[in-house]
Structure 1
């Protein structure tokens, strides 16, 4: 077995670290990738609830200070919370609340509210600079039309992980690198960064999982991180789940169009980008190659169409009750009260959600990607969502 800690030269580590570092938050692109399309980290390596308890980004408050807490139907968040318990119940601070949660009447809003108020303390999340507001974007699970064989309208490929892609975890030697993965390939006796989008696609022949009928939809599927494909040749619907990524940081094609003067800031939504591409088909490769990140997929059967894709926590996401967060600041699995507004609106969106995913462009303490669910309507909402918002993390009372 190769021991990369012994053979990786310092220069290679530096280059690869650069390749796997995510881009800054981009306020001109609504379609921000969840971690399923970037660098998922197991919950065992992420920030723990106890760790963030002692940081300056959290301030304990009472439930009465949460705007909209009393109005929220908490029973809608209960399935997402119970899914988190399935992943966290063996952790000391979660054993008691997760055990008692099994006895709570899931359809009784008052009982669910009493449970959270009895076993959790809300903490307002602040950015390191002390500000309490951040960016809230949206994502969803799309449905594409495809085929297992190339032909006719189905000319845009989606790929499985290539066998020469190395994913290297150095956190065992360098704890400060937790939640980061080095990705590269071996050339001779060196490990070098993996190819970017413009370089990689011609070399992936034979690695296709499916072919879909729209290259733009294929690109945005990589941004969403997972999705469903209706296969015309087999009459089945499959899920393509995140498998890996080439190690290059996500770069916003919306920002590129704004910087080039092609779109105004308010037009740089997923819908606006698609409209621009339809009007400028000859510039499609130019635009898509702005983002060097390539996501690879694995196929999963859909046993229950009502169940969402798995997030970074390893449990299925719940539409409008799951969010992606930055695990450098907040722990996966925790309940979070979100206060923001509906897409392109001043109408309040205030509800209990659960941090079950992460994202390559989800960077910062007060930063979340709101999972809208499956299908076209969810996609319309996610594509327009770029709102300001606030977060309160609910931590078990047992955490001192």
Structure 2
């Protein structure tokens, strides 16, 4: 569900960029620009390194529920069978061809024992970001709002449908070096221009009465729904509408947690979904101003998925599975690939023990604007209070292993350059 993802994880959405500190750089005058040495361009992001591994290297592999994992993986296996056999399975040639994946999926489905099915059809490879084995894992969930299909009373905040003039552009279609990068805007004359930012949209730059999918009673809840990318709206008549991501205005995502920390409003170590929401509730005079600092704006569509045990459709078009679906960076990973994750869950209030180990097989079924890098994951926790709490506090370092079809993984082991993507 390509969150406002931003399919972003809450804590990264709150904290991204804070670990290195926050700097304020004033505008320089002309003379200063002429005499001040220009900074070096930023270093390129680390490449994805794939190192062959064994099943014993996956902590907790034997204890996982392999039957549940197989169900989640099979929901997206059909993606590979729909592609031509020689089509690339993902953005990186080391991930193999669709035919390799379709064959592995078929073998997995036919296996009597799910664990044996995985071990016979796939091999694990350890994912590194350059030399770093660990990366950030966050979480997201499916929130519920209260609303009405018609405007009135407390229902004054619209969830907008995708405007007809919003244009998405895949830059990779024009230049190979831009593969995986996208922009959005609208055509004015013969030029693609930026779409209105959040502040302008909130102030009426778009016809809300024409575009409103539903009206909700809480602008702050609507803001966080855009970050999650999908959710449920309990309507006045007792029914529940499910809404999902339909597009984004093309502006970059700004974490308002970062804004509040920079202002000294919330201590960095205290930032969470819950603390940001509390601050906005306590400062209604500034809430919209702070939310407008995030120029990104997400549009929605009504979705028909009625199975309440499953989440909304992810980036692969199939419903997300709580605890099994993972948002990844699709510029590195193949959508539908099994990914084993080893990280820690946050310690819940009142818990006698420390953080709980999260060691399980997941599947790359979603993406997110803040989910960037080879070792970066956003765990879908599902619906409800516990899911909301976990999503709001999840921020742990962890490791990941891709499960590649055996012929593909064997190719990595015999090609010395392939492991580093060179």
Alignment CA distance shift 1:291-1:134 (3 Å): same
1:20-65 CA distance string (max 9 Å, x none): 998x999664599xxxxxxxxxxxxxxxxxxxxxx76110110101
1:147 corresponding residue in structure 2: 148
In 1, Cα distance between the equivalents of 2:265 and 2:294? Answer: 17
Alignment CA distance shift 1:308-1:339 (3 Å): same
- Aligned residue pairs: how many? 351
1:327 Cα shift?
1.2
2:106 corresponding residue in structure 1: 99
User: In structure 1, the residue corresponding to 2:234 is in which secondary structure?
Assistant: strand
In 2, Cα distance between the equivalents of 1:144 and 1:302? Answer: 17
Structure 2 gaps of 5+ residues are 17-46, 83-97, 348-353, 412-422
Alignment CA distance shift 1:56-1:300 (3 Å): closer
1:250 pairs with 2:253: yes
Q: Which has the larger radius of gyration?
A: 2
Alignment CA distance shift 1:56-1:226 (3 Å): closer
TM-score (norm 2): 0.79
1:200 Cα shift?
2.0
In 2, Cα distance between the equivalents of 1:215 and 1:99? Answer: 46
Alignment CA distance shift 1:142-1:248 (3 Å): same
Structure 1 gaps of 5+ residues are 1-19, 33-54, 106-110
In 1, Cα distance between the equivalents of 2:134 and 2:199? Answer: 36
CA contact (8 A) 1:26 1:361 kept: no
2:201 corresponding residue in structure 1: 200
2:139 corresponding residue in structure 1: 138
In 1, Cα distance between the equivalents of 2:218 and 2:10? Answer: 25
User: In structure 2, the residue corresponding to 1:183 is in which secondary structure?
Assistant: strand
1:117 Cα shift?
1.1
1:216 pairs with 2:216: no
TM-score (norm 1): 0.83
Please give the residue correspondences for 1:229-244 in structure 2 after superposition, counting only pairs within 5 Å: 229-232=233-236, 234-244=237-247
1:390 corresponding residue in structure 2: 399
1:327-383 CA distance string (max 9 Å, x none): 122221111110000124532111111111111000011100000012222111111
Residue 267 of structure 1, aligned match among 270, 273, 279: 270
Residue 376 of structure 1, aligned match among 361, 372, 385: 385
